[in-house]
Amino acid sequence: MKLGIIGCGAIGKDVAKAADMMNDIEKIYLYDINPTAAKDLCSSLKKASIKPVDIFLKDVDVVFEAASQQAVSTYAATVLEAGKDLIIMSIGSLFDDAFRRKLEDIARNNHRKIYLPSGAVCGIDGVVAASIEKLDNVTLVTTKPPASLGKSVEKRTVVYKGTARGAIMQFPRNINVAGCLSLAGIGFDETRVEIVADPVETRINHKILAHGRFGRLRAEVENMPNPNNPQSSYMASLSAIATLRKILHPIQIA
């Protein structure tokens, strides 16, 4: 398989380095809006080269996005129309209902798949299963060190409380997990999100609470920040790598 990567930041680096070690990955193409980031990453890989997205599209099987919501808006439809599968990390981009439906239609018409890694949370599989029946409520409580939210507070402070849609609009680079949870469960307007900045915290905490006909679900994870970007959880990178391995592996754990 040949892999294209859009975005050579912390998550893109982690995925590229993991892919470089996978026997089933034949070639890796890198693109970043910052040429230096792509060059630095390419120099540490054996299978990689740098090409613009419109150039490498004809050669790849799967494209992995780890750049920004703007990158998804710019490239997602083009990738799918080219007949390539797409892995999206900037899941908050899909809160735009019309845009999401457009991508779904393009993927369906071209017999392609859009993969959404679960990111820095656990329990998404349970929410997906529970949503087959009635889900009464789903809540995400995220607690982060203030610096990772771009905040400066002296005590534990709730910086946002409302819908997942509002959380993604206010914190587009910090709360992609809310997008994944919303799509897995009851949607962007019904999923509740609380974001807390806590100067005592050194880890990033995500807690999912769900209640419905299936019973009750509580899933909590304390993530170490990515060493290359404290705003991102290292689990997000691991989730992306797991998604790539899932695409390659003949046995699928649902």
- Assigned CATH topology for domain 2-115+235-248: Rossmann fold (3.40.50)
Tokens of 190: 């019904």
pLDDT at residue number 45: 98
Q: What's this model's pTM, rounded to 2 decimal places?
A: 0.94
- At 244 the pLDDT is 97
- Here the tokens at position 43 are 């120099």
CA–CA distance, 41 with 48 (Å, rounded to integer): 9
pLDDT given for residue 133 in this prediction: 93
Cβ of 233: how many Cβ atoms within 10 Å? 27
In order along the chain (254 residues), what is the average pLDDT of each group of 10 residues? 97 98 98 98 98 97 97 98 98 95 98 95 95 96 91 95 96 90 97 97 94 97 86 90 96 86
* 124-223 CATH fold: Dihydrodipicolinate Reductase; domain 2 (3.30.360)
Cα separation, 246 vs 253, in Å, equals 8
Q: What pLDDT sits at residue 150?
A: 86
Residue 243: count of CB within 10 angstroms of its CB = 21
Residues 43 and 37 sit within 8 Å (Cβ to Cβ): no
Do the first three CATH levels of 2-115+235-248 and 124-223 match, i.e. the same topology?
A: no
**For the chain, which residues make up each domain, given as ranges?**
2-115+235-248, 124-223
Taking Cα atoms as reference points, which of 59, 2, 6, 11 lies closest to residue 240?
A: 11
Which residues have a catalytic role annotated? 206
Supply the pLDDT for residue 252. 86
